[in-house]
Amino acid sequence: MKKVIHLMFWLIFIGLILFLFSSHVIAEPDFQRQRLALVELIKDEVTTTRDFLQQEALDERVLDALSKVPRHEFVPDSQRPYAYENRPLPIGHGQTISQPYIVAVMTDLLKPKKTDRVLEIGTGSGYQAAILAELVDSVYSIEIIEKLAEQAASNLKRSGYGAVHTRIGDGYYGWESVAPFDGIVVTAVASHIPPPLIKQLKPGGRMIIPVGAPFMTQYLVLVTKDADDKVTTRQILPVSFVPLTGKH
Amino acid sequence: MATTKPGVPFQCAIGMISASALAYEVLLMRLFAIIQWHHFAFMIISLALLGYGVSGVVLALNRERLMQNFPLAIVANMMLFGISAPLCFLLAEQIEFYPAEMLWAPVQWLSLCAIYLLLAIPFFFAANVVGLSLYRYKAHISSIYAADLLGAGAGSVAIILLLFLVFPQKSLTVLIISAVTATLIVSRYGFGDKDVDMSPWFGAPLIIMLAVVFMLTEFAPLKVSPYKAQNQLLRVPGTKIIARDSSPLGVISVVSSGITPLRHAPGLSLNATTEPPEQLAVFTDADNMAAITQFTGKPETLGYLDQTTSALPYHLNRLADVLILGAGTGSDVLQANYHAVKHIAAVELNPRIAELITDKFADFAGHIYDGARIDLHIEEARGYLASTNKTHDLINLSLLDAFGSSAAGLYSMAENYLYTEQAIQEYLRHVRPGGYLSLTRWIKMPPRDEVKLLATVLEALKQSGIGDPSRRIAMIRGWQTSTLVIKNGAITTEEIERLKRFCDERSFDPVYYPGITAGEVNRFNIQQQPYLYQAVTALLGDNGPAFSYAYKFNIEPATDDRPYLFHFFKWRSLPESWSLLTKGGSFLLESGYLLLIAALLQAILASLLLIALPLWLWKDKLGIPAGSRDYRPILLYFFCLGLAFLFIEIAFIQKFILILHHPLYAITVVLSTFLLTAGAGSHFSQNLPSGTGKSPVLVPVTGIALLCVLYLLSFESICGFVLGSGNVVRYALSVLLVAPLGFCMGMPFPMALARLGQTAPALIPWAWGINGCASVISAILATLIAMQLGFNVLILLAVALYGVAAWCFPKASPGI
């Protein structure tokens, strides 16, 4: 009896160890399967929240990009098992990457075209830049936190997005030498929209800014510049929620 | 064990441990507010206090064994409290806990539980000391309880004074010293018997162990969450902390930006072309960023401040005299300077913040708080207004809370007396005819506090007898902020024209002005629906109540009785926001309120375990004869007392914030008065005739009920009378008002314990534990009740609970 208990103890112990490690050793085909499942989930969610987009579905190209970019390559090892859950993830240095659903919506709102030139302020881990690189010809990305910028550059190169132009520095003045841009994504929180960025937006261009706290995007601000350089913003609730039921 | 009477040194040591335990509680609140956020601090510390409940159970089950080694048990528990208090905090700090991830990562809940458990340990030891002593000195329970309460009262004052002098983490070492002193006193003199001198046993090891803990505490820096704004900024190259200061109101850090300018200009218009001058960031508790802006005396460098929604009143009319409430680091003062206002009165609550501008960084800030044009008042806003009859052309309150915390719904349980109906009425009394009250807030999506503030303002105007509020208010919004202006008089056509021009030039949208049309409200900063316009028109019309009911957030006006502007939670909306959790809707959950509910559920569950489980498994060991049901009234009695005591204490602290103005001083004065007078009441209770029935406890309970009802009925008159007096008189009167109530509230607990001492002494530790559990539930429940029903209801409920307790007062017949 004692031997059986002893054996069971070791079996459970080894099982637990294997279980703990197994979550960190997921094969690429598994990731691919998870990624596709995530895209399906996002598709479903968009159909229930189509109001804010004023369209039935996200651009197929955006969804396609999401299904190609290996998100697990852009998160720390400890977060890899959760890379394809629809949730924000910590990427170290007190920074996070948005949940894939929000990334999809933000990217869609930019209305990216193949020939576009897009600037990103706040490279983070490089995931958003990689998504953009799947959609447009030129992506420029600026990150102020040195370690994060180096890590992102390495992530991008490793995942086959070496063409993304990255720079360490202050994003407030944009990237003057390659401006203007068709689209700008400001993922680094700003107390206001930097006037130089508005200036570097092409007529007809779109800028997207997520507003909120870490792990929590409250709303998206879409800044558009029309052909006459008139600038307007749209405050977009990325979720189907109307504060008033309309029964009053 | 030669004596059955506790000596003075013993009582002193008990008092010192109770003082240290209360100081530790306050200190943990401060420390967790720095390393995490305030609402988590509240939740963590509330539950850690369950250490008192656990202590009750452990003592109840092991009371006889512990009694045999009473001196050893007391000294060991005191020593362990002294060591564990700093050590458990240091260990809890090492646990990786990120509240924002709780929605996604279940492991965070485990971390939270581990923190609770660790922090409960010191409270467990402190409670053991008092609980054991109550049992040991059954015939002198009122003296022990008095020492406990008097110590706690002294601790509540001492910790606040200490926090003015040293940084919070350094205060931990003072606790160690206090606990060591208590241990040494009790081990040498505490047992009144030369045979029981424990000091040789404890002296050397105690000093060695404490030296180790002391070193750890002194040299380990606080591990602040990487997601707090200060840590985020410090990752930017070139940034560094250039000044630090601390007071009970918070730890202030000033960060210079070095290479990359700070550029703090929230709500800046899209059309702005200028950026702010050089700035220094100022953080309170590593969050709530504000900026000190460099001012060289040239107003043209401040042009960006004219590009925000809060600049609106300066464009409606020429303003000569402005009152800035919550002046902080001075950006609103600079805005008034930019508009060449002749006289500015600035009111700031935190003297340490004001000192940054008047002293340490005065040259950088351009001495904006000096000179004949400006009067700086270090006071709470409503306190200042209550003490003056001056009127102003403009009273301005702008963005007094940081966006991050505000957005995450974390402030829901924080009372705020600046945005209540009564506050608005007070402000308007100080606005000259033709002048304005201007309130600027962050834009939220979907709108919450802007709508609730609107409802509050409209109700305040209605209560003031203003017939047509629709002629007096105007509101505009940008993409990030909105400004609501209330005029003391009707808004004129010229003012409307100026407002339109102001908005057009800056791409802001009018939300409302008299005569506005729907086509004007959603042009530059387009929302899916013009939510704020819909809200104003509905609230101004007959549809107000229906609108408020149908709105998915709680937008009932905030009042002084329910001062929770940031409490937006509606149960009805929970299923919907919950279902949207993974669909980008996590911000819809009012997490502050839900965490409070979660804390309450955890406290109830833990209390059930601590009370019901021993009853079920070890009834005999507790000292309850098999088959007896007479323990039930005892359980109910101590549970009701635990709830009621804190209900009253918390409600009166809030009520007195209005009289004493300053939340910190109100808490300190009211809490210490309650505890000290309750201690005196406890001591006095032994003089009351013991009687045989419930009659003894009816005396204090009747006193509590009468005083509560009297204060409830006459609080406004008392307020009116007291507010007109000077500072010293206000504080003295507050103490005099609280003292009789505290005195009465100190009696029921020791009276019942003394009765148990005569009839069923075995139940004393158990009763102590029940009271501990109830106190934990009470602190959380009181906040929830106040949020839903107000402080007056809370007081009435407490009176009812005292009534129930009186009915359950233990019988005089021996044994149960």
- Which of B196-210, B234-248, B619-633, B654-668 is least confident? B196-210
Contact B98 A90 (CB under 8 A): yes
CA dihedral over B41, B46, B50, B51, signed as positive or negative: positive
- The residue among B378, B367, B372, B316 whose CA lies nearest residue B343 is B372
Chain A within 8 Å of B96 (Cβ-Cβ)?
Answer: no
Contact A193 B263 (CB under 8 A): no
Give the other-Cβ count within 10 Å of A2's Cβ.
6
Q: What is the pLDDT of residues B562-619, one digit of tens each?
A: 888 888 888 888 888 887 776 767 777 777 788 888 889 988 999 988 888 888 888 7
Residue B367 is classified by DSSP as S
- B273 → closest Cβ in A102, A195, A211: A195
Residues of A in contact with B529 (CB under 8 A): 242
Q: Are strands B473-477 and B509-512 parallel, antiparallel or unpaired?
A: antiparallel
Distance from CA of B259 to the nearest CA of A (A): 9
- A146 → closest Cβ in B237, B264, B529: B237
Residues of B in contact with A93 (CB under 8 A): 226, 235
Residues of B in contact with A248 (CB under 8 A): 538, 543, 546-547, 549-550
A26 pLDDT more than 80: no
Q: What is the pLDDT of residue A166?
A: 95
Q: Which residues pair with A181 in a beta bridge?
A: A201
- Among the residues of B414-466, which ranges form H helices? 421-429, 449-463
**Rounded mean pLDDT, A149-166:** 94
Q: Which residues pair with B411 in a beta bridge?
A: none
Distance from CA of A158 to the nearest CA of B (A): 25
Mutate to test the interface with B, among A105, A192, A244 (most CBs of B within 10 A): A192
In chain A, what is the greatest distance between 2 CA atoms, to the nearest angstrom? 86
Q: Are strands A181-186 and A117-121 parallel, antiparallel or unpaired?
A: parallel
> SS3 of A164, please?
coil
Q: Does residue A4 lie within any of the structural domains?
A: no
Chain A within 8 Å of B106 (Cβ-Cβ)?
Answer: no
**Rounded mean pLDDT, B243-257:** 91
Q: What is the pLDDT of residues A161-199, one digit of tens each?
A: 999 999 999 888 999 999 899 999 998 766 788 889 999
- Reply yes or no on whether A98 is catalytic: yes
Given the structure tokens 């003199």, which residue do they identify? B189
Distance from CA of B480 to the nearest CA of A (A): 8
Q: What is the pLDDT of residues B229-248, one digit of tens each?
A: 899 889 888 999 999 998 88
Residues of A in contact with B98 (CB under 8 A): 90
> SS3 of B251, please?
strand
Q: Are strands B392-398 and B321-325 parallel, antiparallel or unpaired?
A: parallel
CA dihedral over B701, B707, B711, B713, signed as positive or negative: positive
Residues of A in contact with B274 (CB under 8 A): 195
- Please list, residue by residue across B156-195, b when 16 or more beta carbons sit within 10 angstroms of its beta carbon and e when fewer do: bbbbbebbeeeebbebbbbbbebbbbbbbbbbbbbbeeee
Cα B163 to chain centroid, rounded: 16
- Which of B2-11, B324-333, B385-394 is least confident? B2-11
Distance from CA of B113 to the nearest CA of A (A): 21
**Rounded mean pLDDT, B504-519:** 94
- The residue among B517, B485, B488, B480 whose CA lies nearest residue B499 is B485
Contact A241 B236 (CB under 8 A): no
Contact B227 A170 (CB under 8 A): no
At residue B1 the predicted structure's pLDDT band, cuts being 50, 70 and 90, is very low
Q: Does residue A17 lie within any of the structural domains?
A: no
Q: What is the pLDDT of residues B69-107, one digit of tens each?
A: 888 899 889 989 988 998 899 899 888 888 777 777 788
Distance from CA of B421 to the nearest CA of A (A): 24
Chain B residue with minimum CA distance to A90: B101
Q: Which amino acid is at B301?
A: T
- B264 → closest Cβ in A88, A191, A239: A191
Given the structure tokens 């064994």, which residue do they identify? B65
- Which of B282-286, B510-514, B680-684, B808-812 is least confident? B808-812
A23 pLDDT more than 60: no
Q: Which domain holds residue A210?
A: 26-236
Residues of A in contact with B265 (CB under 8 A): 191-192
> What is the complex's ipTM, to 2 decimals?
0.84
Q: Does residue A20 lie within any of the structural domains?
A: no
CA dihedral over A46, A121, A154, A147, signed as positive or negative: negative
Contact A217 B538 (CB under 8 A): no
B2 pLDDT more than 50: no
Q: Which two tokens stand for residue B773?
A: 């559990």
At residue B710 the predicted structure's pLDDT band, cuts being 50, 70 and 90, is very high
Q: What is the pLDDT of residues B140-162, one digit of tens each?
A: 888 999 999 999 999 999 998 99
Q: What is the pLDDT of residues B171-195, one digit of tens each?
A: 888 888 888 889 888 887 767 665 5
**Rounded mean pLDDT, B706-725:** 85
Q: Does residue A5 lie within any of the structural domains?
A: no
DSSP string spanning A99-151?
Answer: -HHHHHHHHHHT---TT-EEEEE--TTSHHHHHHHHH-SEEEEEESSHHHHHH
* SS3 sequence of B647-669: HHHHHHHHHHHHHHCCHHHHHHH
Catalytic residue among A23, A67, A98, A138: A98
Q: What is the pLDDT of residue A189?
A: 64
Q: What is the pLDDT of residues A47-57, one digit of tens each?
A: 776 666 667 78
Distance from CA of B226 to the nearest CA of A (A): 5
Q: What is the pLDDT of residues B301-314, one digit of tens each?
A: 999 999 999 999 99
Chain A within 8 Å of B568 (Cβ-Cβ)?
Answer: no
Q: What is the pLDDT of residue B203?
A: 66
Contact A102 B547 (CB under 8 A): no
Chain A within 8 Å of B578 (Cβ-Cβ)?
Answer: no
At residue B693 the predicted structure's pLDDT band, cuts being 50, 70 and 90, is low
B212 pLDDT more than 50: yes
Provide the mean pLDDT of chain B.
87
Q: How far apart are CA B663 and CA B661, in angstroms?
A: 6
Mutate to test the interface with B, among A95, A215, A222 (most CBs of B within 10 A): A215
Q: Which two tokens stand for residue A232?
A: 């307007």
**Rounded mean pLDDT, B642-662:** 87
- The residue among B178, B127, B123 whose CA lies nearest residue B12 is B178
Contact in structure between B738 and B730 (CB atoms under 8 Å): no
Q: What is the pLDDT of residue B471?
A: 94
Chain A within 8 Å of B266 (Cβ-Cβ)?
Answer: yes
**Rounded mean pLDDT, B348-374:** 92
Q: What is the pLDDT of residue A52?
A: 63
Distance from CA of A2 to the nearest CA of B (A): 30
Q: How far apart are CA A238 and CA B599, in angstroms?
A: 30
Q: Could you tell me which residue, B345 or A58, shows the higher pLDDT?
A: B345
Contact A244 B585 (CB under 8 A): no
Q: Could you tell me which residue, B689 or B65, shows the higher pLDDT?
A: B65
Q: What is the pLDDT of residue B405?
A: 46
Chain B residue with minimum CA distance to A45: B583
Q: How far apart are CA B486 and CA B78, in angstroms?
A: 58
How many structural domains is chain A composed of? 1
Chain A within 8 Å of B270 (Cβ-Cβ)?
Answer: yes
| Residue B623, phi then psi, degrees to nearest 5 | 100, 20
Q: What is the pLDDT of residue B390?
A: 94
Residues of A in contact with B588 (CB under 8 A): 239, 241
B634 pLDDT more than 50: yes
Chain B residue with minimum CA distance to A104: B584
- B583 → closest Cβ in A85, A90, A239: A239
Chain A within 8 Å of B265 (Cβ-Cβ)?
Answer: yes
Contact B236 A192 (CB under 8 A): no
| Side-chain half-sphere exposure of B461, counting CA atoms within 13 A | 22
- B408 → closest Cβ in A99, A216, A235: A216
Domains of chain B: 1-224 (1.20.1250), 309-347+374-566 (3.40.50), 618-816 (1.20.1250)
- Which of A42-46, A188-192, B110-114, B553-557 is least confident? A188-192
- B263 → closest Cβ in A94, A172, A233: A172
Q: Could you tell me which residue, B184 or A129, shows the higher pLDDT?
A: A129
Chain A within 8 Å of B108 (Cβ-Cβ)?
Answer: no
Cα–Cα distances (Å) from A147 to A68, A185, B94, in that order, read: 26, 21, 24
Q: Which amino acid is at B465?
A: G
**CB-based contacts of A122: which residues, under 8 Å, 6+ apart?**
A142, A143, A144, A171, A186, A187, A188
Contact A102 B523 (CB under 8 A): no
Q: Does residue A8 lie within any of the structural domains?
A: no
Please, is B216 exposed, middle or buried when counting C-beta atoms within 10 Å of its C-beta (0-12, 13-18, 19+)?
Answer: middle
Q: How far apart are CA B635 and CA B787, in angstroms?
A: 28
Q: What is the pLDDT of residues A199-232, one digit of tens each?
A: 999 999 999 988 877 777 778 889 999 988 889 9
Provide the mean pLDDT of chain A.
85
| Side-chain half-sphere exposure of B151, counting CA atoms within 13 A | 25
Q: What is the pLDDT of residue B816?
A: 47
Q: Which of residues 277-336 of B touch A (CB under 8 A)?
A: none
Mutate to test the interface with B, among A216, A222, A225 (most CBs of B within 10 A): A216
A60-68 vs A127-135: helix crossing angle, rounded to 10: 130
- A235 → closest Cβ in B231, B261, B527: B527
CATH of the domain at A97: 3.40.50.150
B46 pLDDT more than 60: yes
CA dihedral over B260, B266, B272, B278, signed as positive or negative: negative
**Rounded mean pLDDT, B689-699:** 74
- B270 → closest Cβ in A48, A193, A242: A193
Contact B528 A232 (CB under 8 A): no
> SS3 of B418, please?
coil
Q: What is the pLDDT of residue B538?
A: 93
- The residue among A118, A155, A7, A146 whose CA lies nearest residue B238 is A146
Q: Give CA torsion, residues B443, B449, B454, B455, to 10 deg.
A: 150
Mutate to test the interface with B, among A241, A242, A245, A247 (most CBs of B within 10 A): A241
Chain A within 8 Å of B229 (Cβ-Cβ)?
Answer: no
Q: What is the pLDDT of residue A168?
A: 93
- A215 → closest Cβ in B100, B271, B553: B100
- B584 → closest Cβ in A101, A170, A248: A101
Given the structure tokens 């998915």, which residue do they identify? B552
Chain B residue with minimum CA distance to A95: B227
Q: What is the pLDDT of residue A31?
A: 86
Q: How far apart are CA B441 and CA B427, in angstroms?
A: 17
